[in-house]
Structure 1
Amino acid sequence: MALVEQARRDGARLDRACAVVGVSVRTYQRWSTPEGAHPDGRTEASRPVPHNKLSDRERAVIVDLCNEPRYRSRPPAYIVADQADQGRYLASEATFYRVLRDADQNHHRGRHKAPEGRRPPTTHVADTPNRLWSWDVSWLPGPACGTWWYLYLIVDVFSRKIVGHEVHAAETGELAGDLIQKAYWREHLAAMDKPLILHSDNGSPMKAATFLQKLYDLGITPSRSRPRVSNDNAYSESLFRTLKYRPGFPSKGFATLEQAREWMLGFVHWYNEQHRHSALNYVTPTQRHNGEAARILERRRATYERARDAHPERWSGPIRDFGLPETVTLNPETAASC
């Protein structure tokens, strides 16, 4: 009460102040009466019986009807429609559901699994490079329809740099483990004080025992997406789209494995060294990964400030923001899931 009153004296609206402390406006008003706070009597109030309420006999007729052999595997919507075709109306579909629920007969039917609430996605935050990696396997078209080469690709979530990639003719946990180990040594992760988190989807290579043993040996913490939710691994999926829509991508397929590997080498060099990433304020992933982005963006800021000072009449507001986020979050929590 005191917190809400203090907020109102400071100019806050009543509904906003009540939302912050976790009470409804009606509860605050009830507590603010001259008589003081008193129990909510709504739960114990005696209410008149609705005049249109079904009698016990009518409710029993509905239950007996739903348990007849011809209807016991049918939903209320079917029963109501079939009864109407016979010129008989007992109650609405909602009433059928309510009566069956009161009789403890409104349950999931069938052999398929009952629907269940989807768990929230796994959330990780990276504040420097080599804290959080995302990886996946994508299929590159082969020389004939239905043939594929398998692209293993690892991207640093903080810097968007491709830290490892390989193309193979098979998709196995052993090949994935070898790629992770090469990237681990290439990025000098053995000297890190914090463990690396490696996020992926639920593919068979990601759950292979040999691959998980390799992560355990290297001190890497595995993390996986929810089943059948590709958005949980959005950084890898977005990179695959950039790759396959890159001009020059052979949409009709790579004739040989060597051709696919050669094309990927060129793409990785372009992406890391030349591609000005829109999410990085148009610096390259390598510049962000190596700590050069702040200096480059500061030079841009100085250029814009000189241009504004030379012609202030051409600027209606401040110069654009040249900053970069200090942290990058994989699957950030929304207000609804907090």
Structure 2
Amino acid sequence: MVGLGRDAFFRLLRENDLLVKCKRRYAITTQSDHRFKKWPDLVQRRQALRPEQIWVSDITYIRIRDKWIYLCLVTDAYSRKIVGYKLTHRPTAQACISALRMAISHRMYPQSDLTHHSDRGIQYCSTNYVTILQENRITISMTQSGSPYDNAVAERLNGILKSEYRMAETFPDYKTALAQLVKAVNIYNHFRPHMSCNMMSPQQAHQQLQNQKVPKMFQRRNAESKKFRSKTRETVVRERTTDN
């Protein structure tokens, strides 16, 4: 076994059925088989280029003793700021509405065009939820394939809260979980730097207006994208010329 690396060691264990199988703990948060209208995906995984251009909503689960409770989140896709949240015993449309109302009440740029992006769960397709979005002139967008990449910002935030801010723990009761959540949201929004926001905290990035400053990360991504498209066109032209 001298010189056997970690990956090779685990591969050896797996091949001989010696790995301890982990018990997966998860709760179902998305029910997409319902009678309500499912809206098209208007975001198409594109990057937000200013605050309050795209909001992403999602529901994740938190453990207390022997049952699950649920966390409804609304996050700004540009700044990564948590703009609305609600911790609830049941993942109902009303709980998601509470998080949405919090987000709407704290808008910094209410005149800007805003798109709300979510999965096709019954909470987000419900009449009451859709009505609030429409009354506030917020465009509705929903994922189509069920892939986590279609709502990557929301999925990433869920992981950060659980891995970095103790929300993956089993709490003794709802009150303790809520206290930890409030603390986590405050620290995350005001102190956690993001590479995608040029190492600014979500709160700092959210204060950047569209024409003032675009994070260098987005500038580099846009430049690389244009360079790739240019090379692709050149390759196509060269191949066509060779064929002729």
* Shared fold per TM-score greater than 0.5: yes
Change in Cα spacing, 1:327 to 1:135, as seen in structure 2 (3 Å) is: farther
Match of 1:291 among 208, 212, 221: 208
Partners of 1:202 and 1:227 within 8 A in 2: no
Change in Cα spacing, 1:208 to 1:247, as seen in structure 2 (3 Å) is: closer
Which structure has the highest strand share of the two? Answer: 2
Change in Cα spacing, 1:246 to 1:179, as seen in structure 2 (3 Å) is: same
1:201 aligns with 119
Distance 1:240 1:165 in 2: 12
1:224 aligns with 142
Change in Cα spacing, 1:249 to 1:185, as seen in structure 2 (3 Å) is: closer
The Cα RMSD (Å) is 3.3
1:57 aligns with none
Q: CA deviation at 1:248?
A: 3.5
1:132 aligns with 2:54: yes
Change in Cα spacing, 1:161 to 1:229, as seen in structure 2 (3 Å) is: same
Number of aligned positions between the proteins? 185
Distance 1:137 1:324 in 2: 28
Match of 1:143 among 65, 72, 81: 65
Change in Cα spacing, 1:129 to 1:121, as seen in structure 2 (3 Å) is: closer
Change in Cα spacing, 1:276 to 1:254, as seen in structure 2 (3 Å) is: same
Once superposed, which parts of structure 1, at least 4 consecutive aligned residues long, lie more than 3 Å away?
Answer: 119-122, 247-250, 294-297, 326-329
Please show how residues 272-291 of structure 1 align to structure 2 within 5 Å: 272-291=189-208
Match of 2:83 among 163, 172, 195: 163
- 1:218-276 per-residue CA deviation (whole Å, 9 max, x = no partner) reads 1111111114222100000011111111154452x122111111111111111111111
Please give the TM-score of this superposition, normalised by the length of structure 1: 0.49
Partners of 1:154 and 1:163 within 8 A in 2: yes
Distance 1:202 1:219 in 2: 20
- Tell me the amino acid that sits aligned with residue 133 of structure 2: L
Q: Specify the SS of the correspondent of 1:235.
A: helix
Match of 2:218 among 325, 329, 336: 325
Distance 2:75 2:41 in 1: 23
- Tell me the amino acid that sits aligned with residue 153 of structure 1: L
Q: CA deviation at 1:324?
A: 4.3
Q: Specify the SS of the correspondent of 1:279.
A: helix
Distance 2:82 2:90 in 1: 21
- Tell me the amino acid that sits aligned with residue 266 of structure 1: K
Q: Specify the SS of the correspondent of 1:325.
A: helix
Q: CA deviation at 1:121?
A: 8.1
Kindly name which structure, 1 or 2, has the bigger radius of gyration based on alpha carbons.
1
Q: Specify the SS of the correspondent of 1:171.
A: coil
Distance 2:156 2:205 in 1: 18
Distance 1:226 1:120 in 2: 6
* Structure 2 residue runs without a partner (length 5+): 1-39, 233-244
Distance 2:213 2:108 in 1: 25
1:233 aligns with 151
- 1:74-118 per-residue CA deviation (whole Å, 9 max, x = no partner) reads xxxxxxxxxxxxxxxxxxxxxxxxxxxxxxxxxxxxxxxxxxxxx
Q: Specify the SS of the correspondent of 2:83.
A: strand
Please show how residues 243-322 of structure 1 align to structure 2 within 5 Å: 243-246=161-164, 248-251=166-169, 253-291=170-208
Please give the TM-score of this superposition, normalised by the length of structure 2: 0.66
